Structure 1
């Protein structure tokens, strides 16, 4: 089993280790790193990830609403603007490289797995406070950074033009994305450090459920391709 350090965020990870490893080392991820993932599995993932980004933006809008000081408000607003003004356009352009038009994206129906995770995140934020929302979002932002780093260290990974998913891997191993994930990790470390055992138990359940739903998002792609 993997061992994690004892920072507050990694306390959550350790408590949810089976779910975290099942997510970060999912067969979808392994096939993506090896370049063997069926193209239709990836296309299905890309389509649904567009819808996920829409709700991810809504979640950061909720973070703005839940903010209690200017630092929190700016953090939420910056994240919201980054998705709406930058990430969405990048995702649409990347989808086009895979033969998925912007018009098609606008007509998509949400898969059940997309609904389950995005509504869970929004519900966690609506029911709780800003920390509850960040914990529910953590498997996405921090998880993708950890997945990219894990893949980069695996002997089976194929890099460069031989892997059709090289651009995806490069995106999440990039210094910019890794810095954003580290900033979120440090924010969570500060907020989690002074929580009571009872509060940590609640947050652990949120983190565990969100991680399971993220793993379902991977499986969705494989299922769509008959895997």
Structure 2
């Protein structure tokens, strides 16, 4: 299956700094769920920014549907934004407190030029809220009325608004209380399975990767050191760095 999004041999350095990424090659196929793991400073968030078109690689290129992602090409970027949507880490800062939830969910529909009158958009907003297990009347309320877990559900609903083919999620549950993390993980698992959406999940938590991702990529110091089916990596890690990550996962006593 051809890649929907492909970071081909990308490297990235901040001005006068050491390389953050070095020769990374990562391809994401439609409907595929991939986990990207590594310790803080490994380059995970920088790679995500390149894949989202927020930064350009110092070397290599990002391809969308087999063609270079040209950030100054407005038509290409609009098509890209419809197909690839982010889910960010902090649900408390990812929503505009001045906007109602309904306005936040309608914003990508307007900004991406998705056709529809007010009635069509209202129906779409109601459908999105139902999809993330929130009541329809949430559309009239502001983010401050919701808990962290509910806000992350709203952020996921907003990402789903333009019917993307791929979600890029950066530590989407790390800011949440332990008690609500699994509910959001289960929500993501169900949405991905039901809608056939691809998912790149950036996380330092291997238990979340194991729950959601078919394939796992391990990043160390800006380089990919291991990439395989998640079950294979977890049961028989090949690289010493991966083995160290696994050894640090807390385990219940027998």
Q: Which has the higher strand share?
A: 2
Q: Which has the higher helix share?
A: 1
| Structure with the greater alpha carbon radius of gyration | 2
